[in-house]
Structure 1
Amino acid sequence: MKVIIIDDEKAMHLIMRKFLEKIPNIQIIGSFQDTNSATLFLNNQPADLAFVDISMPNESGMQFAKRMAETCNNLHIVFVTSHKEYAIDAFDIFALDYIVKPVSLERLQKTVRRALAIHPLSEGTKEDQNANRIFIYCMGGLEVRSEQGGGVKWISRKSAELFGYLLFNRGRMVSRTRLMEDIFGGMPPKNAETYLNTTIYQLRKSLEPHGLKSLVKSNTDSYGMDIADVYIDFVEFEDKLKGFDVIDASNLDEAIAIEELFVGDLFGERAFLWALSDIERFARIYAVFIKKLAMALLNDHDGDSVAVRLLHKLLARNELDEEVTTLLLNAYAAQMDRGSFIRQYRQYVKILRKELGMGPSQKLVVLYSHLLSNLDRV
């Protein structure tokens, strides 16, 4: 996969190159400090993936991405920025990913894996030229890609929301009344009906360039989505988890690979109100899986550092989770890392007292004392 880097800071070129050169199947073909130079280069040398800073001189990375969407359909854009506030705008123009600095190798690897999953589709070597397989990514955002037309560009945010709603009800027809209540709730009925009609039209127009307009089915008072042979990331994630009642040395690598499918909460920052229960359900499923995986990694002895990394991801989602803190303390004790062990415990106690006005459970206090005494004897 051919990659370019666009950032006005020369230091970021060195950092990005250092990480990207460690990732297989990546060829860095150019680095640029402004979008004009990158555009001139792309006129003669096609690239597959561009890592673009948003804050750039003259033309912003966002403006550059909008131009590329019109002229280079096969160029996937990944924003690399110090600013979190542009994320929604970035995905509205169909960025492949959005990375907040500082950049890590792990984060880049996830992005590249997603890009490589899509990349072969743009090579023009399809066995069946009439095929138009669809890839839908709902973890961390809402992204729809087709072999025929690349990424779907939503005409409006409501059209994207309607797609997500019908996707979750795939195989079932949904009444107009229910759609108006769940997506346009709070509006007067007449207004809601008008907005629904407009949004249905916008959704079909968004899908039309990809040959997907017929996905949306309708009858006299209902709408639905007819999907077959489609890759849906949250379905893939949930299906793969069903085979992991037990995680041990025999399937650790596969379990770690499955964890990487969860790149963020369902629908990411869009977080549609009607999807809140499913967002919470997937978050719980993920948490249970990571705790089980972390225990298996700790039992494997060589997986302590990976366990620590995954547990900190969980703790960032819920700082009050005592089970995660317990596993982290065990991981640090296994690493003989007395400093991190003590800091983790004290930080958890401080958060408990601040947020809940209470101390840790007696069970955790006993575990901490026991592990600390073992570390002191070393």
Structure 2
Amino acid sequence: MERGGRWMRVIVIDDEKAMHLIMGKMLRKLPGIELAGCFADTASASRYIQEHEVHVAFVDISMPQESGMQFAERMAAQRPELHVIFVTSHKGYALDAFELSALDYIVKPVSLERVEKSIKRAKAIYHFHETASAASTPPPVHIFALGGFEVRTAAGSVKWKSRKSAELFAYLLMLRGRMVSRARLVAEVFGEMPSKNAETYLNTSIYQLRKALEPHGIKSVIQSNADGYGLDLHDAIIDYVEFEARLKQIDTMDNVNMEWCLETEKLYVGDLFGDKGYIWALNDASRLSALHAALVKKLASALIEQRKEDLAIGLLAKQHARNELDEETVILLMGAYAAKKELSSCERLYRSYEKVLRQELNIDPSQELKALYAELLLSN
């Protein structure tokens, strides 16, 4: 087998689809790596391995039907040249894994640095060289849709030819991988225009979109057929997609994964598409905002328990600025101030919240909040 100067072919086997996305994005950031496929079970992965060259498999241990351990044992007999790297939520299998000659053992949540370390081990064994031409793969695409909207490649940010061409790309982004009919695009993106003008503007915007993407080498991501258009961006790194994928990995919050959880929160730099005001995106924007708010509250509660009130206050203060009417955030923030014996801050927050409620909704704080405020005053 000639190995020098070639791409290392890697697969991921995990029954959690979120891990396919997470591992895929990490592996695509590493030079000389070709992600050959992601599989939800060992049976489909085995069929692929029998028909294709695969050098490394990242394998979850807890799998339906056949476990990752059983798969590794079977591969050791059938394909001894395949190196297995276990990726699991459980630390207790490490000894058994290395008895099966596993190349490495990674405990979730997974970090890019840890995956890169495993890949370096594999490259050392296979003697792969990172000499593959960058022209052999499409340029990486980074899309930032939280807090604004930017599409960036190695050539810089995409310069939109018009406001509507940017909105059209954003709409197709939300439905990436699917073809969208012209009728739907006209109704959703150009609905404020007369039907005849809308059709013309759709054609013009598609043309402008392709012209804007051409200098970045990604003109071909705009797909078309007789009925409509689509966006083929399966390799792109999209901030809101990464945010949701990381959320699905968070089961508990403790000292072990707190830094990783805080990094996840930082991904949410603002609402979906920022101040663009795309009406068709309101439901997704609200959903992501609610997910972020829930994450902040969960993080703050864990930080207060760990006596890290300053971190909790920073998170809650930003969340309170986003939504001044959210009583749960106010309760947590008052609790954090009280834990630090900052009575004046606690009182200012309560009075401010009381004022906002009366101005905006013409109501008073709940009895629960009033009782908490009185209790905090007495205890301090």
TM over 0.5: yes
Pairwise CA distance, 1:224: 0.3
Output the CA distance in 2 between the equivalents of 1:334 and 1:348: 19
What is the SS of the residue equivalent to 2:230? strand
1:256 aligned onto 2:258 = no
Q: Which residue identity does 1:142 align to in structure 2?
A: F
In structure 1, the partner of 2:373 is 368
What 5-or-longer segments of structure 2 have no aligned partner? 1-129
In structure 2, the partner of 1:169 is 175
Pairwise CA distance, 1:228: 2.4
Pairwise CA distance, 1:271: 2.4
In structure 2, the partner of 1:221 is 227
1:196 aligned onto 2:209 = no
Output the CA distance in 1 between the equivalents of 2:156 and 2:323: 36
Change (3 A) 1:134 1:317: same
In structure 2, the partner of 1:285 is 291
Runs of 4+ that moved beyond 6 A: none
Output the CA distance in 2 between the equivalents of 1:227 and 1:335: 48
Output the CA distance in 2 between the equivalents of 1:126 and 1:211: 21
Equivalent pair of 1:133/1:230 in contact (CA under 8 Å):
yes
Question: What is the percentage of aligned positions where both structures have the same residue?
Answer: 52
Residue 155 (structure 1) aligned to one of 155, 161, 177: 161
Pairwise CA distance, 1:248: 2.3
> Which digits, 9 at most, give the CA deviation of each residue in 1:5-35, with x for residues without a partner?
xxxxxxxxxxxxxxxxxxxxxxxxxxxxxxx
Number of residues paired by the alignment?
249
Output the CA distance in 2 between the equivalents of 1:364 and 1:238: 32
Output the CA distance in 1 between the equivalents of 2:131 and 2:163: 32
In structure 2, the partner of 1:142 is 149
In structure 2, the partner of 1:350 is 355
Change (3 A) 1:196 1:273: same
Output the CA distance in 2 between the equivalents of 1:322 and 1:217: 46
Q: Which residue identity does 2:330 align to in structure 1?
A: T
- Residues 110-121 of structure 1 aligned to structure 2 (within 5 Å): none
What is the SS of the residue equivalent to 1:346? helix
Change (3 A) 1:126 1:313: farther
Q: What is the CA RMSD across the aligned residues, in angstroms?
A: 1.4
Residue 313 (structure 1) aligned to one of 307, 312, 318: 318
In structure 2, the partner of 1:28 is none
1:274 aligned onto 2:280 = yes
What is the SS of the residue equivalent to 1:292? helix
Output the CA distance in 2 between the equivalents of 1:151 and 1:340: 43
What is the SS of the residue equivalent to 2:375? helix
Residue 300 (structure 1) aligned to one of 303, 306, 323: 306
Equivalent pair of 1:249/1:296 in contact (CA under 8 Å):
no
Residue 330 (structure 1) aligned to one of 332, 335, 341: 335
What is the SS of the residue equivalent to 2:275? helix
Pairwise CA distance, 1:365: 1.3
Output the CA distance in 2 between the equivalents of 1:126 and 1:259: 36
Q: Which residue identity does 1:239 align to in structure 2?
A: A
1:187 aligned onto 2:207 = no
What is the SS of the residue equivalent to 2:237? strand
> Which digits, 9 at most, give the CA deviation of each residue in 1:161-209, with x for residues without a partner?
1111111111110000000000110322111100000000000000001
What is the SS of the residue equivalent to 2:331? helix
In structure 1, the partner of 2:140 is 133
Work out which structure has the larger RCO, using CA pairs closer than 8 Å and 6 or more positions apart in sequence: 2
> Which digits, 9 at most, give the CA deviation of each residue in 1:306-356, with x for residues without a partner?
111111111111111110010011000011111101111111111112222
What 5-or-longer segments of structure 1 have no aligned partner? 1-124
Equivalent pair of 2:177/2:234 in contact (CA under 8 Å):
no
Output the CA distance in 2 between the equivalents of 1:275 and 1:295: 30
Output the CA distance in 2 between the equivalents of 1:361 and 1:248: 31
Output the CA distance in 1 between the equivalents of 2:168 and 2:196: 18
What is the SS of the residue equivalent to 1:177? helix
Output the CA distance in 2 between the equivalents of 1:298 and 1:345: 19
Provide TM-score, normalisation by structure 2.
0.64
Pairwise CA distance, 1:361: 1.1
In structure 1, the partner of 2:56 is none
Output the CA distance in 1 between the equivalents of 2:351 and 2:213: 52
Equivalent pair of 1:173/1:224 in contact (CA under 8 Å):
yes
> Which digits, 9 at most, give the CA deviation of each residue in 1:259-294, with x for residues without a partner?
111111111111211111111111111101101111
In structure 1, the partner of 2:211 is 205
